[in-house]
Amino acid sequence: MLFARIFTLYPEFFPGPLGKGLYGKALAEKIWKLETINIRDYATDKHKTVDDTTYGGGSGMLIKPDVLANSLDKNLKTKEKIIYLSPRGKLFNQEMAKKISNEETVNLICGHFEGVDQRVIESRNIEEVSIGDFILSGGESAAFVMLDAIIRLLPGVLGNETSTEEESFENGLLEYPQYTKPQIWEEKTVPDVLLSGDHAKIKDWRLSQSEAITRDRRPDLWQKYKKN
């Protein structure tokens, strides 16, 4: 079972889409578990202040280190993995999703305003992870993205166990085009090879399509693939 703990100023966002469909079912079956911690509950003054101005100037506010550290210290048991969703972090990818899906616990901190005080990142050994080169208003949508990618890898979540094995990134390539019924739609038919029943030929066709698409759309992946 994967235990995901979310530190957020907006606990009401969760589980949101992660509580529905297959993921909701997996939650009920205890394949994964979610706990949402409201960072504001760990503020120490009577106004429940969570943020303050930035030293050195700048218009933005930061989440205070004492409040965030308090929320972590009161909830984390042992040495658990702590991730702060941040545009400055290591870029999230399928490999990272797989690694985290093998952990027992993952803690995700959703930032807001301009982010969090640097000292808490260092003192609590927090890893920074980004979901892409763009700026969001808060870490919650990034946490949804990460958890979505992670949860579908947990055994028993997807009906068809093999369905995660042939997808984009699994072999370093993007996925080949796929077709379903009807065989002719708006006068377009599906590629003949897929109707041939020749499994070796189909495999070759799919690989060559994957290679062409990757070369065209993702030169970065293509360079890596060619090296291996």
Residue 156 as a binder of ligand SAH (CB under 6 A): the answer is no
As given in the structure block, the two tokens for residue 63 are 């989440």
Cα pseudo-dihedral 75, 81, 87, 89, rounded to 10: 150
Residue 35 as a binder of ligand SAH (CB under 6 A): the answer is no
**How long a stretch of residues is the chain?**
228
Residue 132 as a binder of ligand SAH (CB under 6 A): the answer is yes
As beta bridge partners, residue 130 has 91
Residue 68 as a binder of ligand SAH (CB under 6 A): the answer is no
Tell me the one-letter amino acid at 109. Answer: I
Residue 111 as a binder of ligand SAH (CB under 6 A): the answer is yes
Residue 96 as a binder of ligand SAH (CB under 6 A): the answer is no
Residue 214 as a binder of ligand SAH (CB under 6 A): the answer is no
C-alpha to C-alpha distance for 160 and 1, rounded to whole angstroms:
19
Give the max Cα distance, the chain: 72
Burial class (CB in 10 A: 0-12, 13-18, 19+), 208: exposed
Residue 88 as a binder of ligand SAH (CB under 6 A): the answer is yes
Residue 110 as a binder of ligand SAH (CB under 6 A): the answer is yes
Which residue's Cβ lies closest to ligand SAH? Answer: 111
Residue 8 as a binder of ligand SAH (CB under 6 A): the answer is no
Residue 121 as a binder of ligand SAH (CB under 6 A): the answer is no
Considering beta carbons, is residue 130 or 209 the nearer one to ligand SAH? 130
Strand 32-38 versus strand 184-185 pairing type: unpaired
Judged by CB under 6 A, the stretch of 13-21, 23-31, 131-139, 199-207 that binds ligand SAH is: 131-139
Within a 10 A sphere around the Cβ of 186, how many other Cβ atoms?
Answer: 5
Residue from 115, 144, 149, 205 binding ligand SAH (CB under 6 A)? 115
Q: Is the link from the previous residue into 182 a cis peptide, with omega within 30 of 0?
A: yes
C-alpha to C-alpha distance for 209 and 205, rounded to whole angstroms:
6
Residue 201 as a binder of ligand SAH (CB under 6 A): the answer is no
Residue 65 as a binder of ligand SAH (CB under 6 A): the answer is no
Least separation in angstroms between CB 184 and ligand SAH: 43
**Which residues of the shown chain bind ligand SAH in the complex (CB under 6 A)?**
85-88, 110-112, 114-115, 130-132, 134-136, 138-139, 142
